[in-house]
Structure 1
Amino acid sequence: WSYALEKPNTGSIFNIAWSIDGTQIAGACGNGHVVLAHVVEQRWEWKNFQVTLTKRRTMQVRNVLNDAVDLLEFRDRVIKASLNYAHLVVSTSLQCYVFSTKNWNTPLIFDLKEGTVSLILQAERHFLLVDGGGIYLYSYEGRFLSSPKFPGMRTDILNAQTVSLSNDTIAIKDKADEKIIFLFEASTGKPMGDGKFLSHKNEVLEIALDQKGLTNDRKIAFIDKNRDLYITSVKRFGKEEQIVKLGTMVHTLAWSDTCNILCGLQDTRFTVWYYPNTVYVDRDILPKTLYERDASEFSKNPHIVSFVGNQVTIRRADGSLVHISISPYPAILHEYVSSSKWEDAVRLCRFVKEQTMWACLAAMAVANRDMTTAEIAYAAIGEIDKVQYINSIKNLPSKESKMAHILMFSGNIQEAETVLLQAGLVYQAIQININLYNWE
């Protein structure tokens, strides 16, 4: 698509070149002149705010709720900007400005070591800048936090698909070996856990960290070169974490900024995984936790730009933006479960009367070891065999055997056996293996 058309009175333009930061273009003309142009009218949106780069050094902020307009003037030309999590981060050729959406008049300003910022990523607590010298993490108060490094790091090729940021983790795809993803602690810049990187059997194309929840539950989703979507845990201590396939023919993905809901464009369908963790808890009900709709309206090669609240923004190949709204109820369910309000969660599911909600609640309840809620939810989606098994777990005499059977329910047979052996329940451990025909 064409953003702008200019016909300067300079004869034919024989050659053009972009500046390193991608904001200026120069053209060599037939009559000996050199034309210089700057990229303007770039637009960033977040909730009720719209920010437009009107001139090289001027931005206009518009609040669509009350039509209030603010003008932001900068000393140098704007190179990169990002608007998310109630903050606007703008990098110019010499400085970085951090604006809060509550107050546009007093930005926080700090100097940059190198002016060519090529990428800005934001999380709820901090933001990340990438320039020619390295990767730098700052708090929204302008305090420098960390600068992760790994062997053979090249910052000039990093982009939003190969770097991901959450409140506690930074994930970076390696360029030398594209099967490897490096994981760093955001606060220190040191490698996560025991220092092991994440390795996959195929080349990885795109990575994304979930944004909510505890550090120990942090998940990373990624697409490999076969366009398969995988999910795995970020915390890796000794034992090899399972990398589980979530979907096939996935072209682009994004996590919600308010809860751990994942969306992606899958072949000819737009798919939302309301509770991706279901693959670790009860794989059988995963299809019941999905929302799917036809994606043919987005034409070829669409790309997910953002997933804010319950609104997904998709850019089509012709440059136009399409907004999709998904149900707000799964996000409310996530909120209730994270604060252990199980009765409210059940009440919400009864109000909504949707199978996807009950399936999500069933998986969430098993993951949080709340078998009473799990029993109600499984009964609502007609999984009678699982209701009976949960009832049998409730009648077990010891705490350890209950724990072991809950782990077995989620498919963690090895862990269940370990729990029983540690509690001295050797007979039950043998019985589990006999029931599963594990004669070795």
Structure 2
Amino acid sequence: MLRSTLCQHSYPIYSISWGDNSNMMLFSLDRQLVIQSLQANVKPFAWKAHDGVILQVDWNVINNQLISASEDCKYKVWDNYGRLLYSSAPFEYPVTSISWSPDGQLFAVGSYATVVLCDKLGWIHTLEKTYTGSILSIKWSPDGNQIACAGGNGRIINGYVTERCLEWNGFEAVLTDERTVVLHNLRNESIERLEFRDRISKASLSFNYFIVVTSTQCYVYNIKNFNTPTIIELKESSVTHISQCQKYFALADGSSVYIYNYDVRLVCSLKHANIHAEQIYADSLTMSNDVIGIKDQLDKKIIHLFDPSSGKALGDGKPISHSNEIIKISLNQMGNSFDRRLALLDNNKDLYLMSIRILGNQRKMVKLATMVSSFLWAETSNILAAITNDKLVIWFYPDIALTNSDILNLTQEEHNIIDDYGKQLELINFYRDRIMIKRADGSTVYCPISIYPDKLHQLISLSKWNEALKLCWTVKDRILWACLAGIATNAKMLDVAEIAFAEIEEVDKVEYIRYIKSLPTTEMKNAEMLLLSGEYQEAEAILLQNHLYFRAIMLNLHAFKWNRALELANKYNLAIDIVLSMRHDYLKQLNRVEELHLFNLQLKQSTLDASELKERIEEEYLNEKKQLQELSTT
């Protein structure tokens, strides 16, 4: 049924494709490409794209890129703003068809008696000659492994994508044909040939397990023994994505996301109204041992978090909401749930780091970098790498951005890799001290980094603090000491943190740690350590729980949280004169008048001068000490 006429033109429209969120569409108009919004009063965006009539277009919602085929014998790749990303060399005949794979990693191009398989960047993987005349239409299978082509002479042909390669920690798996995988162990040069009765649809190699999905079964191999896989009988035959972590792996098919452990026991399944399993791909799902994150398919500013052991929404069930559309999400793999961090890249190319654990009313989040094209967590430690402004930047302890950002630069390293590897680089794998990088021409190279930060993380994960100190003393690297300082601070290892901060000449922090060590109670020390880590709300909560009300008031005063300080002073009828006096001195130094409503409502009191204020603060600390002694005796 015809609902409405969106637009009308004098030229024939040969091809049309839906855009992101189905609120825009792309169509060809003679030599132009046009992006038309479905919303009323929104002007269409058009530009000249080819020198000949455009015959076919396609828009991939995963990578948000456009492709076009034309009678000028070229195909081109565009972004959704109409900027040219790639233009092919001229074919011998007009390019008559073009189509994206479902995951946006490949696209197929058809011309006269020719089918070409291309990378998403535009360069050609392979070219096949056919006996079909002009290829008029190309369609991909839902799993992205097969294409069907309609020929001008009445023939239909299909093809299977082969020679896909997976690499991980000295292992290389190559899909040589639709039912065979050849595994190379590059360490001992052994070769395993795995043959399956059904066509292979997906494969994944990581965390010591190799997972192969066929049209009817899922095979799980331990890399120590490829002779005896464990097998899962699949309910659905269209698995679109596999994701792995240390304890679990996930299979996404047309109906749901299923979570299994490596003993192939079904742990749970994830279902949500705004999560469509058939649209889940690598950048939209991330998992760790205690959290699974999935992008909302309807609102791309939202991330849903689930517990992999139960399938229930994590915590209070509220999703993460970002200010811009999210392109990619990724969780770190090491540590417990308190160490879990989510890295996300938005459509402004800004990279953010976020704490999964809620502190106070919200999760802590910080912007790490801008103009980021690719990022990746290390598998063996919580080290983050990203390509930003054509440089490879590595944060050896990115957690410090959330707790002690003033020494963040001391824990990062930059590599100028554009001269060696070129532009349009993509990070593929990060294992220990090796980062695999995919170049613009499709070749992969390894970029080596220092092994010592990863070794430091491994030692600390085993609570070998003395060995970690010995490593830093031996290597004598400022980056290692900065990482150790941040990790020891978060772990409340005061002696280690003091040594590490001294080595990087952070004198103020050394003095503060010595002050913390001099405090009489464990509760005071814990609160001050949280302050050193930037966790003000938790520090205040500890002080209030242990009846250290005056210290909680002073905490807020030193953090310039004036309203909160006055609230606590009124609530406990304590040190109101100190709060008002410190506020008065603050305004006097800035030559400003009072603007805070809560302070204007407060009854006017005479303020204390500097000496009186100092005496009153000392008096309150003594009173607090006496109260603690009375509580301890009772």
TM-score by structure 1 length? 0.96
State the 1:152 CA deviation: 2.5
Map Cα deviations across residues 63-111 of structure 1 (whole Å, 9 max, x no partner).
1222211111101111110111111111111111111111111111221
**Cα pair distance change 1:278/1:268, threshold 3 Å:** same
Q: What secondary structure, in the 3-state scheme, does the structure 2 residue paired with 1:284 have?
A: helix
**Cα pair distance change 1:166/1:431, threshold 3 Å:** closer
Stretch deviating more after TM superposition (113-122 or 5-14) = 5-14
Q: 394, 397, 406: which is aligned to 2:517?
A: 394
Stretch deviating more after TM superposition (429-438 or 158-167) = 429-438
Conserved 8 A contact 1:342-1:373: yes
Conserved 8 A contact 1:192-1:236: no
Map Cα deviations across residues 243-286 of structure 1 (whole Å, 9 max, x no partner).
12122221211111111111111122111111111023211100
State the 1:202 CA deviation: 1.7
Whether 1:338 aligns to 2:461 is yes
**Cα pair distance change 1:435/1:167, threshold 3 Å:** closer
Provide the aligned C-alpha RMSD in A: 1.7
Whether 1:323 aligns to 2:446 is yes
Matched residue type, 1:118:
T
| Structure 2 counterparts to residues 147-186 of structure 1, below 5 A | 147-186=269-308
Matched residue type, 2:321:
S
Conserved 8 A contact 1:265-1:295: no
Whether 1:412 aligns to 2:523 is no
Conserved 8 A contact 2:285-2:329: yes
Matched residue type, 1:344:
E
Q: Counterpart in 2 of 1:84? A: 206
Matched residue type, 2:176:
T
Q: What secondary structure, in the 3-state scheme, does the structure 1 residue paired with 2:130 have?
A: coil
Map Cα deviations across residues 146-170 of structure 1 (whole Å, 9 max, x no partner).
1111123212221111100111211
Matched residue type, 2:537:
Q
| Structure 2 counterparts to residues 95-174 of structure 1, below 5 A | 95-174=217-296
Distance 2:471 2:212 in 1: 41
Distance 1:434 1:322 in 2: 53
Q: Counterpart in 2 of 1:58? A: 180
Distance 1:438 1:232 in 2: 23
Larger gyration radius, structure 1 or structure 2: 2
Matched residue type, 1:393:
I
Map Cα deviations across residues 395-417 of structure 1 (whole Å, 9 max, x no partner).
12222222222222222333323
Matched residue type, 1:132:
G
Q: Counterpart in 1 of 2:169? A: 47
Distance 1:421 1:231 in 2: 30
Matched residue type, 2:125:
Y
**Cα pair distance change 1:437/1:105, threshold 3 Å:** closer
Q: Counterpart in 1 of 2:353? A: 231
**Cα pair distance change 1:273/1:34, threshold 3 Å:** same
Whether 1:36 aligns to 2:36 is no
Q: 253, 258, 261: which is aligned to 2:380?
A: 258
Matched residue type, 1:73:
E
State the 1:392 CA deviation: 1.6
Conserved 8 A contact 2:365-2:402: no
Distance 1:164 1:438 in 2: 37
Q: 490, 507, 528: which is aligned to 1:367?
A: 490
Conserved 8 A contact 1:193-1:237: no
Q: What secondary structure, in the 3-state scheme, does the structure 2 residue paired with 1:171 have?
A: strand
Whether 1:21 aligns to 2:173 is no
Matched residue type, 1:152:
N
Whether 1:304 aligns to 2:427 is yes
Distance 1:175 1:114 in 2: 21
Conserved 8 A contact 1:194-1:237: no
Whether 1:284 aligns to 2:406 is yes
Conserved 8 A contact 2:143-2:239: yes
Distance 1:237 1:135 in 2: 29
State the 1:344 CA deviation: 1.0
Conserved 8 A contact 2:359-2:538: no
Identity %: 44
Distance 1:385 1:236 in 2: 29
Matched residue type, 1:426:
Y
Q: What secondary structure, in the 3-state scheme, does the structure 2 residue paired with 1:182 have?
A: strand
TM-score by structure 2 length? 0.67
State the 1:325 CA deviation: 1.6
Map Cα deviations across residues 26-83 of structure 1 (whole Å, 9 max, x no partner).
2222333222211111111111211111121111111122221111110111111011
Distance 1:292 1:431 in 2: 40
State the 1:349 CA deviation: 0.6
Unaligned runs of 5+ in 2: 1-122, 564-634
Q: What secondary structure, in the 3-state scheme, does the structure 2 residue paired with 1:389 have?
A: helix
Q: Counterpart in 1 of 2:617? A: none
Q: Counterpart in 1 of 2:330? A: 208
Distance 2:305 2:486 in 1: 27
State the 1:331 CA deviation: 1.1
Distance 1:65 1:439 in 2: 62
Conserved 8 A contact 1:196-1:236: no
